[in-house]
Amino acid sequence: MRKLAEARAQEKSDDEADEAIIALLRQDERSKGRFARVHTASLNPEEAEENSAVGLVVLHPSFPHDTRSEASPAEATVTDALKRRSGGRLRQARNTLIFVAPDAAMLAEARKAAKWTIAWKSIRDDRALDLKDSQKEEVAKQFTNSTAALEASVRRAWSHVFHPVAPRIDGEPFALERVNFRNPGSKAVAQAVWERVSSDQIVLEKLGRQTLSDRLKENWPPDADHVAMATIRDWFIGSARFERVRDEIVLGEAVSELVRDGLLDFSYADGFGTDGRYKGLASGKVVTVRFDGDALLVRRAVADAQEREKTSNTPTSSGSPVPGGSANQPEPASPVPAQTLRRFYGSVDLNPERPVRDLQPIIDSIISELMRADGAKLSLRLEIEATAPGGFATDDAAIIRDNARTLKFRPEATGFSED
């Protein structure tokens, strides 16, 4: 059987092997780490769409990186995809893309493993061979083993991460940096890449308010009293000179912390009115940050000047006595002390088809209001329950368990059951 498999494997082309490799890569998409999206094995990686959240491009086997050669198909392809999109349009959100390419030598091993897998599958499915039961068992075992070997070899091969960084040459929009990492083959490609780029802080899941303040001061137009939040977002997603944040939520949290810190130089406003005044101006407190509409970040000195003007224009009581008052009038009843409300609790159902959209109003109307109280401590817990009449596939269940561990679900309250 092995000689027959070897003969059939030698007949297979690299293109056939690549088809099997790509199928496995696409199957691995189900475990994407914390990337917002994964683009897998496109021959035209410049088609990756513009987005404000970080995504991963898994390069096609046609674009390997060879550490022994000066010419790198992967590097050339990544550079082109970061400069322009399909149709020659300039790429705007280049700071939201991470690329991973196969190592040339490891790709050769993966192709070899793919050819063996294809060969064993063809023998298993070839009824003309009229195999004995013992031979069928051997072929089935070899196919299972070769499939596992293929999966591990493919995951090991995609080991070169490319990402844009601040340019080193004047006039260039970015420089390209490569990071090599090792995946033993036990983790899906995107999951392994995510763990590396997050641990190396190539992608940030938290942006410090002081870092944000420094970047704003470096790029703030000198004659501007305010900058649109949409513009600030575009700075971060478009320029490799800025830190790469995972998504708008991370940037929004940093802006909220920046505004809440009364020692820093920025305030937040919902907009700028036709009367020349800021609407919904907030300083020194938690705000719900939006990047759409008219939201603005305002120089603190300008915001403080508006608040002082507002205070000076507020009329005060004269304190004059009320005519006709009598000294013999009864004393008013003492007010009943207000009840001290120290705890809030609540539960709400979310639509599983659009949980993020349902969650945003809760953040805006409940969580943000609760956080305004001095010393308030919030505890949030997400409960998930899913049932499938036909049961969950074993592979899907394994991926979900792995993702739950990565996302730090409580193990004592997480799992699958038969009932």
4/139 same-domain check: yes
187/239 same-domain check: no
215/196 same-domain check: no
What tokens does 183 get? 């995946």
91/166 same-domain check: yes
236-283 pLDDT tens trace:
999 999 999 999 999 999 999 999 987 779 999 999 999 999 999 999
Q: Write a three-state SS string for the chain.
A: CHHHHHHHHHHCCHHHHHHHHHHHHHHHCCCCCCCCCEEECCCCHHHCCCCCCCEEEECCCCCCECCCCCCCHHHHHHHHHHHECHHHCECCCHHHEEEEEEEHHHHHHHHHHHHHHHHHHHHHHCHHHCCCHHHHHHHHHHHHHHHHHHHHHHHHHEEEEEEEECCCCCCCCCEEEEEECCCCCCCCHHHHHHHHHHHCCCCECCCCHHHHHHHHHHHCCCCCCEEEHHHHHHHHHHCCCCCCECCHHHHHHHHHHHHHCCCCCEEEECEECCCCCEECCECCCCCCCCCCCCCEEEEHHHHHHHHHHHHHCCCCCCCCCCCCCCCCCCCCCCCCCCCCCCCCCCCCCCCCCCHHHHHHHHHHHHHHHHCCCCCCCCCCCCCCCCCCCCCCCHHHHHHHHHHHHHCCCCHHHCCCCCC
391/353 same-domain check: no
Q: Which residue has the higher pLDDT, 276 or 1?
A: 276
In a domain, 286, yes or no: yes
pLDDT at 238: 96
In a domain, 320, yes or no: no
* Residue 130 banded pLDDT, cuts 50, 70, 90: confident
In a domain, 334, yes or no: no
* Residue 324 banded pLDDT, cuts 50, 70, 90: very low
pLDDT at 2: 85
| Domain count across the chain | 4
pLDDT at 321: 44
d(CA 202, CA 82): 16
pLDDT at 111: 98
Domain span at residue 32 reads 1-200
Task: Point out the domain boundary residue: 310, 327, 357.
Answer: 310
For strand 175-180 and strand 278-279, is the pairing parallel, antiparallel, or unpaired? unpaired
What tokens does 107 get? 């790709």
368/410 same-domain check: no
Give yes or no for a contact between 110 and 21, defined as CB atoms under 8 angstroms apart.
Answer: yes
389/376 same-domain check: no
pLDDT at 315: 55
Task: Point out the domain boundary residue: 150, 175, 200.
Answer: 200
Using the predicted structure, report yes or no on whether residue 399 has a pLDDT greater than 50: yes
365/246 same-domain check: no
Least confident of 94-103, 228-237, 313-322, 351-360: 313-322
In a domain, 39, yes or no: yes
pLDDT at 407: 81
Using the predicted structure, report yes or no on whether residue 402 has a pLDDT greater than 70: yes
Give yes or no for a contact between 266 and 213, defined as CB atoms under 8 angstroms apart.
Answer: yes
In a domain, 321, yes or no: no
191/245 same-domain check: no
* Residue 408 banded pLDDT, cuts 50, 70, 90: confident
263/244 same-domain check: yes
292/240 same-domain check: yes
Task: Point out the domain boundary residue: 280, 310, 340.
Answer: 310
375/389 same-domain check: no
pLDDT at 318: 46
What tokens does 110 get? 């993966």
In a domain, 267, yes or no: yes
In a domain, 274, yes or no: yes
Using the predicted structure, report yes or no on whether residue 355 has a pLDDT greater than 80: no
In a domain, 34, yes or no: yes
